Amino acid sequence: MDDDRPLHGVRVLDLTNVLAGPYCSYQLMLFGAEVVKIERPGGGDLARSLGPDPELNRAALGASFLAQNAGKKSVELDLKDPADRTTFEKLVRDADVLLENFRAGVLSRIGYSWEVLRRLNPRLIYCAISGFGQTGPMRHAPAYDQVIQGLAGMMSITGTPETAPLRVGFPVSDTVGGLVAAMSIAAALAGRNRTGHGRFLDVSMLETSLSAMGWAVSNYLVSGVPPEPMGDQNATAAPSGTFHAADGPLNIAANRQEQFEQLCRIIDRPDLVTDHRFAEREARKQHRAELNEEINRALSARPAADWEHLFATAGVPAARILTVPQAVELDQVNERGFFTDLAFPARPDRTLRVSGNGVLVDGAPLRPHAPPPLLGEHNAEFRSTSEEVPAP
């Protein structure tokens, strides 16, 4: 399927580190792009030393790196070295996309502004991911995922009134920033087919996080109502949140009237439908605590898996709350080929399992075709063919 993937034939120069940028280029690779990862000589992507296994970190194969870099190529280049700059400029001339996630202006300060890059390759799509974007009063400020979560207001509404602010349990701002960057690059490539011209894409993690927060922001913008931390409850509906079956937690989102009525029938509490406190949507939100108590009492009669089956059969959105180890073993994701087993880099005795992106193209999952690269693994492939070209 590799030759049929939508981005086959697209070359991406990836100068990024750690997560937002590598996550973006991993998505592009899954869709068929050739990703050439430009890394700092001797050290490479910082993620090579990040992860829970110290041995892998010392080998420059940290779990954080392995998770986002399968199928890419690695070339070591020092962009302050004249010979390496010549190689880099040759790569730029032959590339479709250049992706970086430095602080605003870093690439420009070493001689590769958008104007210079555009002269080298007028068809180039240049995408810069940063915490705050390339303009504005915060453009030079350093930013990690947690910093962005805090500034976006995300942490203020995560947890309960007693525990907020809390960081979301995974780097959501990095991930969303990477996804928006990948979408922007795909759109720019499509536009280039029409115009023949490249684009400069300026992606702000702060702004992509605010965009992803949906109603938490729009309710305030439209109605002037600031969101508050509500733990595992959904402010827009009730019953909607985490409940407790006989053996563990269960998520239920009976957000529509017919779903609520079905739920009451299944738990053998039809009286809740006619109770004035719960009969209609707004009343249920006002009496959320009492309703939750009644539902939890009924749910205690069965294990969560039984309720999940009963509710799903009746069209009521509900499911168990799983641990990560349980989630990755779900038949649903494995039957669709979400995970891929690869040879472990430089470790023939081990297997590396990596994630896909949840997209089937013509019924087939998108998979990496090779393991993550060793640092500089593809130096010879690109350095040996470099030509002397004049500096812009």
| Catalytic residue annotation | 174
CA distances from 257 to 40, 91, 117, 276 (A): 57, 58, 56, 14
**Of 38, 79, 87, which Cα lies nearest the Cα of 389?**
87
**Of 183, 160, 315, 328, which Cα lies nearest the Cα of 235?**
160
Residue 39, classed as helix, strand or coil, is strand
Residue 264, classed as helix, strand or coil, is helix
The pair of three-digit structure tokens given for residue 31, joined into one six-digit string = 């869709």
Residue 127 burial (CB count, 10 A): 26
Distance CA 5, CA 13 (A): 19
The pair of three-digit structure tokens given for residue 234, joined into one six-digit string = 């959904």
- 160 neighbors 166 (Cβ within 8 angstroms): no
Residue 363 burial (CB count, 10 A): 7
CA distances from 184 to 165, 309, 360 (A): 31, 39, 20
- 357 neighbors 27 (Cβ within 8 angstroms): yes
Give every CB contact of residue 190 below 8 A, 6+ residues apart in sequence: none
Question: Counting every residue, how long is the chain?
Answer: 392
DSSP state, 254?
A: -
